[in-house]
Amino acid sequence: MLRRLVLPLAVSIIPLLAGCMAAFGGSPTGNILDRIRSSPQYHEKKFENEPPVAMIVEGKYFEMLRGEAFGGQVRTPPRPLPVVHPDVKSFSDPPAPGLRAIWFGHASVLLEVDGVRIFTDPILSDRASPFENIGPQRFFSPPLSLEELPRIDAVVISHDHYDHLDMKTIKFLATRGTMFYVPLGVGAHLTAWGIADSQVHEMDWWERLPLKSVEFICTPAVHYSGRGLFGGNQTLWSSWTIVGPQHRVFHSGDSGFSPHFKEIGQRFGPFDLTLIKIGAYDPTWIYIHMDPEQAMSANVALGGRRMLPIHWGTFNLQIHSWDEPILRTKAAAESSHQDLVTPRPGEILDADKPYSSAEWWK
């Protein structure tokens, strides 16, 4: 009887654990480990923010737990969200000149920058989790499936958290020859997933690499990293600056607000389009997750001509109503007279043309 109970349980659990372990990724070794140890951001066997900040604001943690347990926020949409399904025949190869963007949800944006197609923090899996059936689930299906995606020249990854680095999506894109630009140490995860070293470019802050007509610059952020239960901050986190011959784009990844936005703006701005996080904030970790008003201040510091809000409306990751980030961001944009664009998931935004945003979240 014991065998009849244990054997089926083991058969079901072992593949689940194996998949989870694979999703955890790998650890840096060899030359990359040497580069990590010599990085200005690496101190006492881990990466640190510069200047250092508190991960959790003193005295706020239990307040956050109370909000988690007893808060009355509407944390998931009460009805299906409008998703646009782009015509796959509209994607030329190579991409046409100009600057276009499609928000796939969260921090995933498909960009066409001066003839180069780039995907930021792509996650097309159903959950932001190492498990297939456990963890935060998408509010809506991606506008395009993996198989429907056009050829992607490059992916930029801001850090290795599950809502930004998705094993399934990365492995699929690797089979199509996509190049991956990642912060120091993140390449170990891709190596563990069988991706060729020739497709992976690991970079420290302020390092630059070209691809075709554009240049990728790994720029600072204020955050943290880690995919397992232990050993956090063994990989670097970053924002990304993408500079083409005609257009400039900034991708914030996850970050708290800090002077690094002004420095990036002074070095590489102004930007034709900024992709800046507005969601998953809380007073408990405001130093590493800026709120909507700080996001708008970041856009000003960067010299952003037009801002596309990201990192909201896709997963239930924080203690606020699902639509609070966009409501606060829209109000902040109006009061500061900034050009905020809010395309529906899947809608093609041409950054060189006028755009009239709709309040589709209502």
Quick one: pLDDT band at residue 70, thresholds 50, 70, 90? Answer: low
Q: What is the pLDDT of residue 230?
A: 74
Of 94-103, 206-215, 230-239, where does mean pLDDT reach its minimum?
230-239
Q: What is the pLDDT of residue 319?
A: 87
84 contacts 347 by C-beta, under 8 angstroms: yes
pLDDT in tens, 34-64: 999 999 999 999 999 998 998 888 766 677 7
302 contacts 261 by C-beta, under 8 angstroms: yes
The CATH homologous superfamily for domain 5-350 is Ribonuclease Z/Hydroxyacylglutathione hydrolase-like (3.60.15.10)
pLDDT in tens, 272-301: 999 999 999 999 999 999 999 999 999 999
With a cut of 60, say whether residue 340 has pLDDT above it.
yes
Arithmetic mean of pLDDT, 130-144: 96
pLDDT in tens, 73-106: 899 999 999 999 999 999 999 999 999 999 999 9
Integer Cα distance of 214 and 24 in angstroms: 31
% of the chain at pLDDT higher than 70: 91
pLDDT in tens, 306-324: 999 999 999 999 889 999 9
Write down the number of H helices and E strands in the chain: 8, 15
Nearest CA to 39 among 233, 271, 322?
233
Integer Cα distance of 179 and 196 in angstroms: 10
pLDDT in tens, 346-362: 999 999 999 999 999 99
With a cut of 70, say whether residue 177 has pLDDT above it.
yes
3-class SS at 47?
strand
Integer Cα distance of 340 and 266 in angstroms: 21
Integer Cα distance of 260 and 155 in angstroms: 23
> Is omega for the bond preceding 343 within 30 degrees of 0, making it cis?
no
Q: What is the pLDDT of residue 229?
A: 74
Cross-strand partners of 118: 111, 154
Q: What is the pLDDT of residue 55?
A: 85
- Which DSSP state fits 198? G
Domain ranges of the chain: 5-350
Integer Cα distance of 76 and 218 in angstroms: 33
The single residue listed with the structure tokens 């001509």 is 305
Q: What is the pLDDT of residue 59?
A: 66
194 contacts 184 by C-beta, under 8 angstroms: no
As to burial, measured by CB atoms within 10 angstroms (0-12 exposed, 13-18 middle, 19+ buried), residue 30 is: exposed
- The continuous run of DSSP H or E covering 22 comes out as helix 2-24
277 contacts 290 by C-beta, under 8 angstroms: yes
Other beta carbons within 10 Å of 76: 11
Q: How confident is the prediction for the chain on average, in pLDDT?
A: 92
Q: Listing from the earlier edge strand, what are the strands of the sheet with 239-243?
A: 208-211, 214-219, 239-243, 248-251, 273-277, 307-310
Nearest CA to 251 among 157, 332, 355?
157
With a cut of 80, say whether residue 231 has pLDDT above it.
no
Quick one: pLDDT band at residue 9, thresholds 50, 70, 90? Answer: very low
With a cut of 60, say whether residue 200 has pLDDT above it.
yes
